[in-house]
Amino acid sequence: MSGEVKWQHVPVDEVLALLETDREGLTAEEAQLRLSKYGFNEVELKKKESSIHRFARQFASPLIYVLLLAALVTFLLREYADTSVIIGVVLANAVIGFIQERKAENALESLAKMLVPETSILREGQRMIVPSRELVVGDIVLMETGARIPADLRLIHKKNLRIDESMLTGESTAVEKYTDAIETKNLPLAERKNIAFAGTLVTQGNGIGVVVATASDSEIGKISELIKKTKQLSTPLVRTIDNMGKNLAVVIILVAILTFAIGKFRGLGTLDLFFASVSLAVAAIPEGLPALITITLAIGIKKMAARNAIIRTMPAVESLGSATVICSDKTGTLTKNEMTVRKIYTDEGVFSVTGLGYESEGDIELNGKKIDPFDHRALLETLKAGALCNDAYLREEGGIDGDPTEGALLVSASKAGKFYIPRVDEIPFESEKRFMATLHQDNAGNSWVYVKGSPEIISKLSSMQFNGKDFTRVEPEKILLVAEDMASEGLRVIATAYRKLERGKAELEDVDIDELIFLGLQGMIDPPREEVKQSIFKCNNAGIRVIMITGDHIKTAHTIARQLGIRTEGALSGSDIETMTDEELIEALRSVSVFARTSPEDKSRIVGLLKQEGEVVAVTGDGINDAPALENADIGVAMGRSGTEVAKEAADMVLTDDNFSSIVNAVEEGRDVYGKIQKVILWTLPTNAAEGLAILAAVLLGFAAPPLLPLHILWINTVTALGLGVSMTVEPMEKRLLNRPPRPQKEPLLLPVIKRRIITVALLMVTATFLLYIFNINNGMDISTSQTIALNTIVFFEIFYLFNCKSIHENVFGQMFSNRYMLLGISIVIGLQMFITYNPTMNMILRTSPIRLIDWVVIIIITSSIFFLIELEKYLQKMRHNKQIKK
């Protein structure tokens, strides 16, 4: 019914006429008719997918297909223990994915809870309480302090009405509301001051509004639609591993088929060839890799939690590490969400105020020097006026109760001392008058009125100005010029004045608010967090761009951005964004990093265009207005303290301290996690490839007894993955991670150096093992002992190569013993190898035999060569790289 009418532009009587209602409300029959026609006032959730279908979909991955094939193969080989391990890994990954996919539904369910269960309305002139879900367009809603708005309302009456819209607009202070139509077009939500939005909270006064939009037509409903339309995209790591899984599956199947074909050509038996091909697949498939990656991510999650970042989805750890852009909300994330007075103007001069937030610590300075407020009477009276004409309270334990602006005035006054004169009457703040006045009377009956409000109004109501000693004629132009200078610095400016009244005055009248004595101006701002500037410097150093997207005023946003060191060429408002094409906005995004007065659609659009340009985007936010962008980002970061449940459910990560600096810590951890995953792959794939090549070589050379039995391969894969591979996941963090640029999104997980090393290491391992095996056989050693030596040779190759993998590019001589878990794992693996080599029972089970001391010496000499060769290769590569840089 409400259609596309811009209700903020329509006068009240015309609104009522268009909605076919009046100030008495709808009739019960008409309300029921509209409810039947347009439906309930509730956020519609996505149609839920069945749990069985969602769980089954977790298996749709190439790497999972390969693992399931490996499970089938090991089952056919009657290696049931290995089958169980592989199935366990597959099921663990499926459960993790299943849990992750619940987050979008939870976000919508939390959004639905923002709508209040009941509300007070007028029907046929009678006040009644009805379920909010039964509200319809045209209903007349009654509002009072503490009430949450049940639908989008066009205000038709108000009295001192102020509404907290921070969860929707990002504004840090409650918004004054009025009823007049607004002529200005393309207004952002924060400036539609004759509209009350669903889900927002009345903090002061009362009012009456007519419902103009319910359910999905309301602003909160539009956000739910954006969330539902947002596609759940995989992270860079997931996409990379998926591609790697596809490639591995193809290669392994082709090699297995090739092995079978070559064997048939050489005249080998079909059954033997089948099991040889199956053994090759089992050897080549890195069945431990998903588990090792999961462990690496899990450890990263634990370390991030210790640094105040709670990860809700495992791949988000790496994704944040590869972020190129962080789109941050301002209020409460980059700033403290605590208004703070920074400048005070009186006729004595312009004073600076130090200190942050709602703490009384801090000084007042003039010309850079600390002063005593009692030496400056005009300043003292200005502070007194701000403290007395005030409805907020400072808590003993810290913080305030009441409006943040009034809290800031109390804090600035507290830097001079305590001011108290009993209040006997007041004129509350009203948007039409734009001032508040309080009447005070001491024990002797002396009466004063203190007034605060906009500089324009207070300067007009004043006839004189106090300069600390006497009174001079007020100069409104001078005052407004100072106020404008303060506003250009992003400060919100409050003016104060006073007047002494006749003794015994007990009631304020309009005539008392005239011929005032102007005292001064106080300019305040929601200050930046002290540690954020350093964090943004780190981001700049790490090649990560920080973009501020806020619902706050454009001048305030730009000022805060400059103070924090955010690199930007100007700022754009939401109304600017609305008029721009995607191409124009993309061009603007190349230089502009501050966006103010934005809507949820604007924020989500910016994120989408950044991703379209190839950026890996992290988005921070705390309000329901941030939920679509949090969903749309590569990684969404919600605030744990101030964040709504909607934002938390839509996010991939929650900051327990609401601190932007914790994101930088998470970036560092994410880069470390990705590096460890590369190291795990660097160690896993060459060793698996060597085992597979050993089977292939045995078929090619026509060996009746290969150097490794399928049973040996399964043993090696199980023992080394647990004893060696897991230790790589707890490798200490490399230094200077934040001095490197972000990893390009299209950079393959398998870097050229990793591919080269896979081939080098695999060929070296299989060649040395085969030559040693042939040498032993040709010198009369029995097959079982020769196979035992080959088995231990492969394991010790993996041990020595593990040290090489502590760094992909750097030599590791100085850090070989930095990971005590690695040393413990190596000791356990060596102990197990001794056990299966010399224990009679294990000899029977694994078909191994005891070997001589000289055999161990030969194994150590041969296998240790891999360590020195790889370190030599690193050294030569680094020398070559340095020469290229010099050129």
Catalytic site residues?
A: 329
Question: ∠ CA(52), CA(58), CA(61), 5° rounding?
Answer: 145
Identity (one letter) of the amino acid at 204?
Answer: Q
The region that residue 125 occupies, defined by phi over 0 for left and psi between -120 and 50 for alpha, beta otherwise, is: left
Distance, in Å, from the CA atom of 400 to the CA atom of 396, rounded to the nearest integer, reads 9
Alpha carbon distances (Å) from 309 to 233, 303, 332, 638: 22, 9, 16, 10
Answer whether 799's CB lies under 8 Å from 826's CB.
Answer: yes
Alpha carbon distances (Å) from 283 to 239, 369, 722, 758, 866: 25, 76, 16, 15, 21
How many other C-beta atoms lie within 10 A of the C-beta of residue 3? Answer: 8
Phi, then psi, of 398 in degrees rounded to 5: 110, 155
Q: Is 510 exposed, middle or buried (0-12, 13-18, 19+ CB in 10 A)?
A: exposed
Answer whether 326's CB lies under 8 Å from 653's CB.
Answer: no
Unique residue bearing structure tokens 């009941």: 118
Answer whether 855's CB lies under 8 Å from 863's CB.
Answer: no
Of the candidates 662, 874, 698, 873, which has an alpha carbon nearest to the alpha carbon of residue 790?
Answer: 698
Helix axes 783-804, 752-778, angle to 10 degrees: 160
Phi, then psi, of 86 in degrees rounded to 5: -65, -45
Q: For 701-736, where are the alpha helices, taking DSSP H only? A: 710-720, 726-728
How many other C-beta atoms lie within 10 A of the C-beta of residue 362? Answer: 17
DSSP state of 738: G
Answer whether 344's CB lies under 8 Å from 385's CB.
Answer: no
Give the pair of three-digit tokens for residue 1.
């019914």
Residues 6+ apart with CB under 8 A from 55: 94, 98
Residues 6+ apart with CB under 8 A from 293: 241, 677, 680
How many other C-beta atoms lie within 10 A of the C-beta of residue 4? Answer: 5
- CA 89 from centroid of its chain's CA atoms: 28
DSSP-based three-state secondary structure for 663: helix
Distance, in Å, from the CA atom of 553 to the CA atom of 327, rounded to the nearest integer, reads 17
For β-strands 152-164 and 175-176, DSSP reports them as antiparallel
Give the pair of three-digit tokens for residue 813.
């001589």
For the chain, how big is the Rg over CA atoms in Å?
Answer: 36
Of the candidates 222, 225, 218, 209, which has an alpha carbon nearest to the alpha carbon of residue 151?
Answer: 218
Unique residue bearing structure tokens 């094939």: 69
DSSP state of 285: S
User: Dihedral of the CA atoms 376, 378, 380, 385 (nearest 10)?
Assistant: 180
For β-strands 435-441 and 423-430, DSSP reports them as antiparallel
Question: ∠ CA(667), CA(668), CA(674), 5° rounding?
Answer: 85
Give the pair of three-digit tokens for residue 715.
């043993």
Distance, in Å, from the CA atom of 536 to the CA atom of 620, rounded to the nearest integer, reads 14
Residues in the chain: 887
Give the pair of three-digit tokens for residue 850.
């005891």
Q: Which helix (H) or strand (E) holds 210?
A: strand 201-213
How many other C-beta atoms lie within 10 A of the C-beta of residue 748? Answer: 13
